[in-house]
Structure 1
Amino acid sequence: MSRYVKAAPHEGDIRFTVGVHPDEHVTDHGLAPYYAMDSLIKDWGDRWETDGKPTEDIQFMGETWATCFDYSKSGLDPWENPEFEIEQVREFQFYFVAKDSPHYSGERADHDDRVKGGTITVRPRWPDLTSDGKPVSVPDYGAPYIDVQVQASNFPHEEYLTLVKRVMDAYGIAARYFDQPHPDSHIDDLAYYVRLFRGESGPLYAPDGPIARTHTLIQGDRSGYRKHVEDHTKIPGYYVTTTVEDEKAGELVRGHGLGKELKHYYPDEPDEFDADEAPYHPKFEVSYQTARTDETVRWSDLKDTRRELEETLLNCLEWCGLATSAESDAFVPFDPYWTLGDTHEARKLVKCPLPEIESEQEHRVMQLWGEMTDADRDVTELLLTDGGKVSPQEAAERTGNTYRTVRTVIERMEGLIRHTYGEMELTSKKVQQELLKRVRAAGDRFEQSIETAAMDLADAADERQNSEWARLRREYAISVVDRDDCRKMLKVGYQPTDEDEARSIVREIKTTYQECVERSVFGVHVAVSLADGTRKRWRDLRDAFQKSVERQSRQEKHNRQAREIFDFEAWKEAGCPPADEWGSGG
């Protein structure tokens, strides 16, 4: 049987519905546990002022945990029911923290949130619930009950309900009240991670890694939720994340259906730690995103949810050529909240689908580009430039085509344009980029570009390959212009978005020209017009970039030194200590 590294549980947010149950054989306790908590406040009496909040130690998972009881105003109106005699409706909080954790500060449980621990929040519910006389939207089961929310981190999610019963019992509240929560009890947040040594995790956050490519290839052009963040300011891979919606999850791993986030990250100040400390090294985490998942994930679904999140994590490691077993020396063995080891639980690893998706999208663009009509081009350009969602009727009005023509375009360009619920979009960021490149390069030479694309397809079918230089000339619409002030002028028809993209293209031109045309680029100039109309000219490709890199290196060194001096002095003057790793960021 295969063995896979067992990911560590991180954050969890689980809500238990307690006191009511659809099974007639299960006793409905209603608000009984809530009344018990209210009595606890009254029994404690004046000691709130003299002794402080009630505290208790418990034994849980072989460790000693500190707990603390507190309450706050709920904002709810009292229940208009003769049996409800409480004038002020409260919410109750139970704080808990593992005292045996290596980073426990010794503070009271409600003051120490940096280590293994969390909170239990209890809220009363009943039919026709109101706040300031206005209805409050909560599940109505026709009888009173309590909502028990557990928010915690760094211990198994499977143990959350057991912990609730252990804490309640410590305060004299019958644990049996919590034996059988309602089937509607559900999961709002769930995360699992592995921690890899620095230098090992680079393939995960690389431009061609699973985080970036997932965003580019499987998220729609403009529908749904799109989020991709790359922050390399403090260290490469400092914070790189992308979100996958539930309807797209199956494109990564067949059978998956949860919205989730893939995240590679370090603590706030990674270089505040030494190499033998866990926070010096990054985490790779996969977390369930309830806002990106249409279906509610129940407490009873926990096992399947954990399996899907761990499978996503393991597959990403596998696709990068990283280890999927704890036997590898890529994983950090001294994370205080993760016992490094393997699991024998079944986990599905699949061949990475991203290269095939990318190849198929590129081929589809080339194929349909070679068959495009003027109407196809009109609709494509509208989708590339419009900032919002476009309906077929609106597309017809804005392009001057008939509605029937636009519908024909949608059918003909299946695979590039997605049409759902009366709205149109390009199928992925990759398709958008490929089409945008061709539209910009074609310019007024649209018909010629279409003919060239058709010839490219014919060449591919006959397995004839043009030179890389010929391909590059077509891709960027490069023409050779005779000029008196240089040996050769290469004019680029494609319009880059900004100067950074232009530099990247010119570097590619230089490399390919030297490999395919001639080694000497002395006197070879390149002219480019940016999308905003700015004209740029690179003179003498032989040493243009060499000088630029030298200047940039000197300037970057100066800037870095200035930042270090400023940061040190500013922090010192402000009296600020370094950020602590052991919050949610670490």
Structure 2
Amino acid sequence: MRAVSPSWHEFAMQLNFSGGLDPYFAAHAVVRSSGGSREIEFSRDGKTWLAKLYYQSSGIEHPGVRLPTGTEWDLDQVREFRVKVKRRGDEDKPGQQSFNAHLRPRWKGMCVERSDGETQELALPPGMREGVNLRVTGSNIRPTRYLPLLRDAARALDVNPDYFTEPDDSSTVRDAERYVRLLEDASGPVHARDGPIAKLGHLLENDRSGYRKVVQNDTDGQGNDVPGYYHTATLGPGRVEEAWPNHQLPKEIKHYRARHAESLDEDSPLRHPKVGVSYQVNRWDGSLGVTEEDLARLERELDEALHSVLREAGLPLEPPGGDGSPPYQSDPYFDAELGEHTEPPKLNLTELESEQEHVVIRELAKTGGVSPVEEEIVEYLLADGGTASPADIAEEHGRHVGSVRRALRRMDELIDRKYGEVALASNHIAEMLHSAVSELRDASTRLSEATGEALLSATRGLDETTSALRTWLAAHDCETDSRGQAVKKLRLGEFDPSGKYGYAEVISELRKGLRYWTDADRDPAAFKHATVLFRRSDRQKLQTMDAARLLELRGG
């Protein structure tokens, strides 16, 4: 697929090399012979770079004359070293193509001083006895270029580049972002209140489960109103898979502008906002390595997520003219050029919204409506902003905790339960429940079929007959077979007795459902097979009858 190619922005990785302490001792020798630091130019691929090696103090405890591993240590103090690499200024006007590699020694039994003054032994990656760790942080450089540039810088600084050839498997990516820059007049649909960033946070995160971060800030640091100044939605792995089923890496999707964008010249590309997707390492228990395969996976997931967000906002991935023309704005690091990319997954937030509405309608349309315990649970979760457990809810309303747990099981699709805590499954579901419970409280009725139809009216892509059938089935908590082809159970709620046998209203409602079913070109026999549950207002006992038998009755 031809689409605009995002550019790399921030990037960070932890590199472990377990071949011993020679890289550390070599850096120490260079700094000592150079009076504290060394700075030199080198070239790679026709571009000129500046490398600087210098040192800083360390919290690593001095090991004495010999390390716990047996290696002799003849240095008076423990230092840590940094290698700063950046493009030469006349070749990089913004001066933002650079990285810094923080080099630290590692040995088994090494102790470090904590911020409280106490010391503790630092755990090493599995299999490492002695080696070095490099924390590399940079920007506007392709990830696969960092190691080659580091080796070239080491060579220029008289440090053997072979020390930095094969990172250990314990090496990991810590941060990464891919971005495009949009013309400020074109980016509104991305950060709009009903745009993809807001909806991702709104539909996929609840108020307690995992990490939730949705930011919509339109005020810059000077107090100026700047639309789209900083809007983000951060999703952990589970939520990411809901939006992009073949993705696992936690991500932050963001629309942001430069700090002083409004004061920049009209022709400055930095006036225009960025839309980016970044890897969020702290939002999962997994890790991503630094192999070529790992970095290719990283780039694919970030690009697919970014392209799908742009597409959801209605922006063309292949701009008119096919040459990076508007709505994209090039800058020194983003060329706004087209490239070959994989087709991004469809970010169908409307469908997800409709599915959540379907769940709410089905839950609220059960026989007899919402029970008192279920209504209390919903009200508690809507009102409470912290963590909640079944015991909390039971104590608040004087219920037995067993009653609350049974009610929670009945509400399984509305509730997230994890580690003894419960929360509403999403903000969208919370808002719908708030509206529905208010109606229930005021009118003492369950959500009506008309309300269900209104809630599902936003569903797009369904023809009228299919939409009508889906609404009716959802309102009556339809259960179907495993293939969804035959109705197994329907809950029609409570009816006033009328007609010869007192079933006229039940039959009328059931015939309406059968009409929707057949209008959608489905087999009538598959509908008549259902068991129908309902309650007459003059009786306490729940009535159960076969749909076929009810439909055969005349006059009710």
- Structure-2 residue corresponding to 1:408: 406
Q: Partner residue of 2:312?
A: 319
Give 1:169 shift: 0.6
Selected match of 1:196 from 176, 179, 182: 182
Tell whether the 8 Å contact from 2:84 to 2:101 is kept in structure 1 after alignment. yes
Letter in 2 for 1:304: R
Cα shift readout 1:241-273 (whole Å, capped 9, x = no counterpart): 111111111111111111111111110111222
Question: Which residue of the partner structure matches residue 248 of structure 1?
Answer: 239
> How many aligned residue pairs are there?
438
Query: What does 1:136-285 align with in structure 2 at a 5 Å threshold?
Result: 136-139=122-125, 141-233=127-219, 234-285=225-276
Alignment of 1:349-388 (within 5 A): 349-370=344-365, 371-388=369-386
Distance 1:313 1:429 in 2: 23
| Contact 2:12 2:138 survives alignment (8 Å) | yes
1:221 Cα shift?
2.7
Whether 1:336 and 2:332 are equivalent positions in the alignment is yes
TM-superposed CA distance for 1:395, in Å, is 2.4
Change in 2 beyond 3 A, CA 1:142/1:161: closer
Letter in 2 for 1:172: D
- 2:510 alignment partner in structure 1: none
Structure 2 residue runs without a partner (length 5+): 114-118, 220-224, 457-464, 472-556
More moved, 396-405 vs 5-14: 396-405
Q: Give the superposition deviation at 1:357.
A: 1.1
CA distance in 1, matches of 2:402, 2:127: 50
Q: In the TM superposition, what are the counterparts of 1:81-92 in structure 2 within 5 Å?
A: 81=67, 82-92=71-81
State the alpha-carbon separation in 2 of the partners of residues 152 and 463 from structure 1. 55
SS in 2 for 1:299: coil
1:90-121 per-residue CA deviation (whole Å, 9 max, x = no partner) reads 1101112111566548xxxxxxxx52112111
Percent of aligned positions that are identical: 31
Q: Say whether residues 1:94 and 2:78 are aligned partners.
A: no
The Cα shift of 1:329 comes to 2.3
1:150 Cα deviation from its structure 2 partner? 1.2
| Whole-angstrom CA distance in 2 between matches of 1:414 and 1:454 | 22
CA contact (8 A) 1:195 1:283 kept: yes
User: Larger deviation: 366-375 or 32-41?
Assistant: 366-375
Distance verdict in 2 for CA 1:441–1:158, change over 3 Å? same
**Secondary structure in 2 matching 1:238:** strand
Q: 1: distance between equivalents of 2:295 and 2:302?
A: 11
- Per the alignment, residue 475 of structure 1 pairs with none
Q: Secondary structure at the match of 1:94?
A: strand
Query: What is the match of residue 434 of structure 2?
Result: 436
How much has 1:181 moved relative to structure 2? 1.0
Letter in 2 for 1:270: A
1:44 aligned onto 2:25: no
Secondary structure of 2:24's partner? helix
Matched, 1:72 2:62: no
Amino acid at match of 2:362: Q
Question: Is 2:112 the partner of 1:131?
Answer: yes
Whole-angstrom distance in 2 between the partners of 1:280 and 1:372: 53
**Matched residue, 2:478:** none
Look up the match of 1:118. 99
- Tell me which residue corresponds to 2:524: none
Q: TM-score, length-normalised on structure 1?
A: 0.71
Q: Kindly provide the amino acid, as one letter, of the partner of residue 110 in structure 2.
A: L
Residue 455 (structure 1) shift: 6.2
- Once the 2 structures are TM-superposed, how far is the Cα of residue 420 of structure 1 from its aligned partner? 2.1
- Contact 1:323–1:330 (CA under 8 A) maintained in structure 2: no
- Partner Cα distance (1:70, 1:13) in 2: 20
How far is 1:139 from its partner? 2.7
Asked whether the 8 Å contact 1:123–1:146 carries over to 2, the reply is: yes
Query: In 1, are the aligned partners of 2:11 and 2:177 still within 8 Å (CA)?
Result: yes
Letter in 2 for 1:437: S
Change (3 A) 1:193 1:457: closer
In the TM superposition, what is the alpha-carbon distance from 1:66 to its structure 2 partner?
Answer: 1.5
Describe the shift of the 1:351–1:333 C-alpha distance in structure 2 as closer, same or farther (beyond 3 A): closer
Contact 1:223 1:389 in 2 (8 A): no
Q: Distance in 2 between matches of 1:458 and 1:356?
A: 15
Structure 1 residues 131-186: Cα deviation after superposition (integer angstroms, max 9, x where no partner): 24422344353411100121110111111111110111111111111111111111
The answer as to whether partners of 2:202 and 2:427 remain within 8 angstroms in 1 is yes
Deviation at 1:351, TM superposition (A): 2.5
Aligned 8 A contact 1:259 1:288 in 2:
yes
Stretches of 4+ aligned residues off by more than 6 angstroms: 458-462
- 1:395 and 1:406 in contact (8 A); partners too: yes
CA distance in structure 2 between the aligned counterparts of 1:208 and 1:102, rounded to whole angstroms = 42
Residue 405 of structure 1 and its aligned partner are, at CA, apart by 2.0
Aligned residue type for 2:268: E
Cα separation, 2, equivalents of 1:236 and 1:366: 36
Find the aligned partners of 1:307 and 1:126 in 2 and give their Cα distance: 36
Partner of 1:520: none
Offset from partner CA, 1:282-337 (integer Å, 9 cap, x none) = 10010001111220111121110111011000000111111112625234454011
> Is the contact made by 2:304 and 2:345 (CA closer than 8 Å) also made in structure 1?
no
Matched letter for residue 199 of structure 2? R
SS at match of 2:105: strand
Output the amino acid matched with 2:78: V
Q: CA deviation at 1:444?
A: 4.5
> Quick one: distance in 1 between partners of 2:140 and 2:434?
45
Q: Which shows bigger deviation, 367-376 or 64-73?
A: 367-376
Give the alignment's TM-score, normalised by structure 2: 0.74
Amino acid paired to 1:70:
Y
Q: Structure 1 455/261 Cα, relative in aligned 2: closer, same or farther at 3 Å?
A: closer
Q: Check whether the contact 2:31–2:53 (CA below 8 A) recurs between aligned residues.
A: no
CA RMSD of aligned residues (A): 2.4
Q: Aligned letter for 1:291?
A: N
